[in-house]
Amino acid sequence: MKFSRTSPSTGPGSPEVTGFYDDDTGSIQYLVADPATSKAAVIDVVLGFSPQSAATDTQHVDTILRHAEAAGYEIEWILDTHPHADHLMASHVLKQRLNKPNAIGARVKEIAELWRDYYNMPDAFDPAADFNHLFEDGDTFTIGELPVRVMLSPGHTLGSITYVVGSDAAFVHDSFMQPDVGTARADFPGGTAAELYQSLQDILALPDATRLFIGHDYGTEYRSQPKWESTVAEQRRHNAHIGGGVSQQSFVDQREARDKTLALPDRMLHVLQMNLRAGRLPEAEDDGHAYLKIPVNRF
């Protein structure tokens, strides 16, 4: 892990947010805390996975839990924004460690239907069994005393959700990138650039000062260090794909042209069959080992 960075609370009702960077996948994991109560949630935590050896590790889990303990935070929620295609989610491991509820968007059930076909596993994946909560658009809950609202934000996947926390923070997953990069791809099964455009507009309707925390950054030719925080106002003005009032058709044309040039993430076919189980490995076979099933020549 290269580094972590904390965005302090801006006052009553505003969360403290610490992002932890995963070098291997460019993913950012979040610890979100209510300073008034020392209650917290984790969002999109990565379970280490090597596509070369199919080995897993808990490096990020251990680091984030040590940070929470040192800060005196009690984690109440284990949250994910969507079934990630580029990293293995740590939701199941965290649930075992913390005995706290885990959650994701309710449309993960539709994503599971798609991938049952791709893997030819008609009886696989029961998100309701692996996640305690499947959030619908508009659902609310709390982290300590901070209100949290769930926004359905499809496009990157059909079931992506945004968590709007307290007075000035939103966790916008793989929708926005940093303003100098643009937006996330929309070509995975169930994703569409047109839906992504509308989801971006919904996020841009939040107050200008809302801090937006993204799911990925890889740096750029001009910026070697990854960044993951911006504001609604910054994205509205300067986003490379949608800033300045770009029309839906222009955005869709640009996004679809870009997506045609992108390879699949190297972990995608491995991790989705685990992420649709909250990161839980398939059941061990009679030799005590778990096995993955990879479709050949399907993509």
pLDDT reported for residue 35: 98
Is residue 167 a part of any domain in this protein? yes
Identify whether 160 is part of a domain: yes
Count Cβ atoms below 10 Å from residue 70 Cβ, excluding itself.
Answer: 8
Instruction: Say if residue 52 is exposed, middle or buried (CB neighbours under 10 Å; 0-12, 13-18, 19+).
Output: exposed
Calpha distance 22→217 (Å, rounded): 10
Q: For the purposes of burial, counting CB atoms within 10 Å of the CB of 261, is it exposed (0-12), middle (13-18) or buried (19 or more)?
A: exposed
User: CA 116 to CA 291: how far, in whole Å?
Assistant: 16
- pLDDT, residue 48, reads 95
The three-state (H, E, C) secondary structure of 83-122, written as one string: CCCCCEECHHHHHHHHCCCEEEECCHHHHHHHHHHHHCCC
* Tokens encoding 197: 């455009």
- Distance, in Å, from the CA atom of 115 to the CA atom of 83, rounded to the nearest integer, reads 11
* Overall domain count for the chain: 1
> Residue 75's closest CA among 87, 67, 85?
67
Q: What does the alpha-carbon distance between residue 286 and residue 284 come to, in Å, rounded to a whole number? A: 7
Residue 63 class from Cβ within 10 Å (0-12 exposed, 13-18 middle, 19+ buried)? middle
Structural domain harbouring 138: 4-272
Check residue 3 and give its pLDDT.
82
Averaged pLDDT in 10-residue chunks for the chain of 299 residues:
87 97 95 98 97 94 97 98 95 98 98 95 95 98 98 96 98 95 94 96 98 94 91 97 95 96 93 96 94 92
pLDDT in tens, 20-30: 999 999 999 99
Q: How do 229-231 and 74-79 pair as beta strands?
A: unpaired
* Residue 41 lies inside a defined structural domain of this protein: yes
**Structure-token pair, residue 105:** 């968007």
pLDDT at residue 180, rounded to an integer: 95
What CATH number is given to the structural domain containing 241? 3.60.15.10
* Domain-embedded: residue 38: yes
Asked, for residue 281, whether it belongs to a domain, the answer is no
All residues at 6 or more sequence positions from 265 whose CB lies less than 8 Å from its CB, including other chains: 25, 85, 86
Answer yes or no: is 193 within a domain: yes
Q: Is residue 287 part of a domain?
A: no
What pLDDT, on a 0 to 100 scale, did the predictor assign at position 2? Answer: 62
d(CA 201, CA 206): 9
- Indicate whether 298 belongs to any domain: no
pTM of the model: 0.96
